[in-house]
């Protein structure tokens, strides 16, 4: 389907503001949108989309997921013809062959199709994901995709040392490409390639959970790992030291970027690939999971002319996304924004991003000091790890700059005590801090198979911290597992937040060197919702399950 039309239909369904579709619309490789592009978007409800399309084109809509399609109809024509026309023969009656399509423009090829089938043709429109599920019975979709995997060389990568590739055959190259294409289809955020004494396995992380996908033959272990290292431009002869690199690929016409790290373990090198998918980056702050009041406090913090805004949480809790969304909101032509990151995860237009490189002495502290000589307005520093970075960040915040950064603490109040423990004076902390945000990610219940969870008792809900009177009325939900969520009951993730405003009461306690518990009590009194409270709100709203909420909001989870 053509891009403009796609945008029109999406606009009519109202499922997402058009500006969120910009990365897709701007993909210059394609004047057309492929089905794969559509499925990658979490917000994209393809059933809604197809229903709107069927109205526009006056076609009948069918939910193929609920239809029983017999193999004999799928075999009416050659596989290559199904691929060519993207039309699935799902029924044949005395009157016509029924073709299921997801792209209405195929209707224009009716004459060709009548010639092909030598029979009258009828079209029905279906949604892409159920179309693709039936299509997989005709053809192995990973194989189709495999043909499209291409390495992108040279672009933005440092010059690399030539390595020997003679030990790696075509079959290994295909095998590795298959893993990468498969990870792309399953929306895996990380790929773990792991050697053990007698086995070798590949695991994918999808929506935060790791699961084993394949156990390649042990004799492929070295070639596969070497191939990945070559693609990432690492030194394949070096097997004793950890290395970092990057793989750039094009899958289905889409540029995909992986950050790669290798680590020597007891039985060989473990390689982890982290997907850096720009099109999945959610920059709209209102979509991240903030509650209205939390968003207001956070926005107020980042829109101050100067001061420090900190985001805290464990690795993989979505801190970068929150910071990027803040930067994108502050990113105007009259603002000079610089970031020091380890490493830069996404390129943001109009922002000066610097990769810190310890080995050449370009640390967070050094980058931060250099920014201050570059007439900055907004500075983001990847992480405040030590006193030197902390002091420089505070100084920058106190001298008229807005500073954004992250810390590795459990909750918002303990971020303050961490700064104090680093050795930063209490009056500098109160003078510079605008807002502190703690966050976690919870898996979102799949909307296609969401049902009320009647197995959870009121007592269990109460034991999680819900007041007995509220627990009485509270309904909890779960996903039963369906095709759309691969049976997991979850699809996508939602962030839970704890947003701490630096109120006069909180300031007073910081100046008194109070404990994080005391600060927390005061912050709650001043209106802060803790991670646990926010998580339970998401449960009550039916966005996540009780167990996800509890696992991700227990204070000692790190």
CB of 249 to Zn ion, least distance (A): 29
CB of 491 to Zn ion, least distance (A): 6
Binding residues among 516-545 for Zn ion as defined by CB under 5 A = none
Q: With respect to Zn ion, which residue has the nearer C-beta, 211 or 214?
A: 211
Number of residues that bind Zn ion (CB under 5 A): 7
Instruction: Please report whether residue 47 would count as binding Zn ion according to CB under 5 A.
Output: no
Q: With respect to Zn ion, which residue has the nearer C-beta, 17 or 481?
A: 481
Q: Which residue is nearest to Zn ion (CB)?
A: 446
Contact between 84 and 45 under an 8 Å Cβ cutoff? The reply is no
Q: With respect to Zn ion, which residue has the nearer C-beta, 7 or 482?
A: 482
Contact between 330 and 424 under an 8 Å Cβ cutoff? The reply is no
CB of 477 to Zn ion, least distance (A): 12
CB of 518 to Zn ion, least distance (A): 44
Per-residue mark of binding to Zn ion, 430-469 (x: CB under 5 A):
----------------x-xx--------------------
Instruction: Please report whether residue 416 would count as binding Zn ion according to CB under 5 A.
Output: no
CB of 207 to Zn ion, least distance (A): 12
Q: What is the DSSP string of 515-554?
A: -HHHHHHHHHHTTPPPHHHHHHHHHHTTSS-HHHHHHHH-
CB of 407 to Zn ion, least distance (A): 36
CB of 484 to Zn ion, least distance (A): 5
User: Of 304-312, 429-437, 472-480, 518-526, which part binds Zn ion (CB under 5 A)?
Assistant: 472-480
- The answer to whether the bond into 343 is cis (omega within 30° of 0) is yes
Distance CA 201, CA 217 (A): 9
User: Of 427-435, 451-459, 471-479, 500-508, which part binds Zn ion (CB under 5 A)?
Assistant: 471-479
- 3-state class of 95 per DSSP? coil
Q: With respect to Zn ion, which residue has the nearer C-beta, 353 or 488?
A: 488
Tokens representing residue 196 in the block = 């053990």
Across-strand partners of 101? 125
Q: What is the DSSP string of 204-255?
A: EEETTEEEEEE---GGGHHHHHHHHHHHTT--TT--SS-EEEEEEEEETTEE
CB atoms within 10 A of CB 451: 11
Distance CA 220, CA 168 (A): 10
- 3-state class of 127 per DSSP? coil
Using CA atoms of 102, 106, 108, 109 in order, give the dihedral in degrees to the nearest 10. -150
Distance CA 363, CA 227 (A): 31
Q: Which H/E stretch holds residue 404?
A: strand 402-407
DSSP 104: G
Q: With respect to Zn ion, which residue has the nearer C-beta, 363 or 448?
A: 448
User: Of 136-144, 266-274, 283-291, 479-487, which part binds Zn ion (CB under 5 A)?
Assistant: 479-487
CB of 483 to Zn ion, least distance (A): 7
Phi-psi region at 517: left, alpha or beta (left = phi > 0; alpha = psi -120 to 50): alpha
Instruction: Please report whether residue 482 would count as binding Zn ion according to CB under 5 A.
Output: yes
Contact between 242 and 262 under an 8 Å Cβ cutoff? The reply is yes
Q: With respect to Zn ion, which residue has the nearer C-beta, 448 or 552?
A: 448
Per-residue mark of binding to Zn ion, 485-504 (x: CB under 5 A):
x-------------------
Q: With respect to Zn ion, which residue has the nearer C-beta, 418 or 484?
A: 484
CB of 186 to Zn ion, least distance (A): 14
Q: With respect to Zn ion, which residue has the nearer C-beta, 11 or 481?
A: 481
Binding residues among 79-98 for Zn ion as defined by CB under 5 A = none
Q: With respect to Zn ion, which residue has the nearer C-beta, 217 or 487?
A: 487
CB of 553 to Zn ion, least distance (A): 23
Q: With respect to Zn ion, which residue has the nearer C-beta, 211 or 555?
A: 211
**Counts for the chain of helices (H) and strands (E), in that order:** 23, 20
Beta-strand runs (E) in 19-173: 60-61, 88-92, 97-101, 121-125, 150-151
Q: With respect to Zn ion, which residue has the nearer C-beta, 487 or 504?
A: 487
User: Of 302-310, 316-324, 476-484, 492-500, which part binds Zn ion (CB under 5 A)?
Assistant: 476-484
User: Of 9-17, 177-185, 269-277, 478-486, which part binds Zn ion (CB under 5 A)?
Assistant: 478-486
Query: What is the C-alpha radius of gyration for the chain, rounded to an integer number of angstroms?
Result: 26
Tokens representing residue 30 in the block = 């394609």
Q: With respect to Zn ion, which residue has the nearer C-beta, 1 or 482?
A: 482
Chain positions contacting Zn ion, by CB under 5 A:
446, 448-449, 479, 482, 484-485
């Amino acid at each position: 389907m053509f891009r403009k039309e796609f945008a029109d239909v999406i606009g009519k369904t109202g499922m997402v503001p058009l500006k969120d579709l910009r990365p897709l619309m701007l993909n210059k490789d394609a004047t057309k949108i492929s089905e794969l592009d559509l499925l990658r978007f979490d917000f994209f409800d393809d059933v809604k989309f197809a229903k709107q399309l069927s109205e526009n084109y006056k076609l009948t809509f069918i939910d193929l997921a609920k239809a029983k399609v017999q193999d004999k109809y799928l075999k009416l024509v050659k596989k290559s013809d199904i691929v060519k026309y993207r039309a699935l023969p799902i029924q044949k009656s005395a009157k016509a062959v029924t073709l299921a399509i997801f792209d209405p423009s195929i209707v224009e090829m009716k004459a060709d199709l009548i010639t092909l089938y030598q029979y009258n043709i009828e079209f029905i429109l279906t949604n892409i994901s159920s179309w693709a599920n039936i299509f997989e019975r005709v053809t192995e979709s990973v194989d189709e995709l495999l043909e499209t995997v291409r390495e992108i060389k040279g672009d933005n990568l440092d010059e690399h040392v030539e390595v020997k590739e003679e030990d790696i055959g075509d079959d290994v190259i295909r095998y590795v490409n298959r893993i990468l294409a498969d990870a792309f289809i399953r929306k895996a955020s990380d790929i773990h390639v792991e050697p053990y004494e007698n086995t070798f396995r590949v695991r994918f992380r999808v929506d935060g959970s790791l699961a084993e996908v394949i156990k390649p033959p042990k004799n492929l272990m070295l070639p596969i790992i070497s191939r990945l290292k070559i693609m990432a431009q690492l030194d394949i002869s070096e097997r004793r030291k950890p290395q970092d690199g990057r793989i750039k690929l094009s899958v289905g016409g889409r540029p995909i970027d992986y950050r790669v790290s290798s680590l020597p373990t007891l039985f060989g090198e473990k390689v982890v690939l982290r997907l850096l998918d720009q099109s999945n980056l959610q920059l709209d702050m209102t979509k991240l999971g903030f509650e209205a009041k939390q968003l207001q406090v956070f926005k107020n913090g980042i829109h101050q002319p100067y001061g420090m805004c900190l985001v805290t949480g464990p690795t993989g809790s979505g801190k970068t996304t929150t910071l990027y969304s803040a930067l994108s909101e502050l990113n105007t032509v009259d603002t000079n924004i610089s970031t020091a990151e380890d490493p830069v995860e996404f390129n943001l237009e109009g922002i000066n991003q610097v990769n810190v490189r310890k080995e050449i002495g370009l640390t967070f502290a050094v980058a931060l000091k250099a920014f201050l000589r570059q007439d900055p307005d907004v500075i983001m520093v990847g992480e405040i790890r030590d006193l030197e970075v902390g002091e420089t960040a505070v100084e920058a915040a106190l001298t008229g700059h807005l500073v954004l950064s992250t810390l590795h603490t459990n909750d918002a109040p303990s971020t303050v005590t961490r700064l104090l423990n680093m050795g930063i004076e209490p009056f500098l902390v109160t003078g510079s801090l605008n807002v502190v945000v703690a966050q976690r990610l919870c898996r979102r219940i799949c909307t296609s198979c969401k049902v009320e969870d009647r197995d959870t008792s009121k007592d269990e809900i109460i034991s999680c911290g819900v007041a007995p009177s509220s627990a009485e009325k509270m309904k909890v939900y779960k996903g039963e597992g369906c095709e759309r969520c691969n049976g997991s009951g979850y699809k996508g993730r939602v962030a839970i937040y704890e947003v701490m405003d630096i109120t006069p009461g909180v300031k007073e306690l910081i100046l008194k060197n109070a404990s994080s518990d005391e600060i927390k009590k005061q912050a709650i009194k001043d209106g802060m919702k803790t991670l646990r409270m926010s998580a339970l709100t998401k449960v009550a709203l039916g966005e996540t399950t009780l167990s996800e909420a509890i696992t991700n909001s227990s204070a000692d989870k790190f």
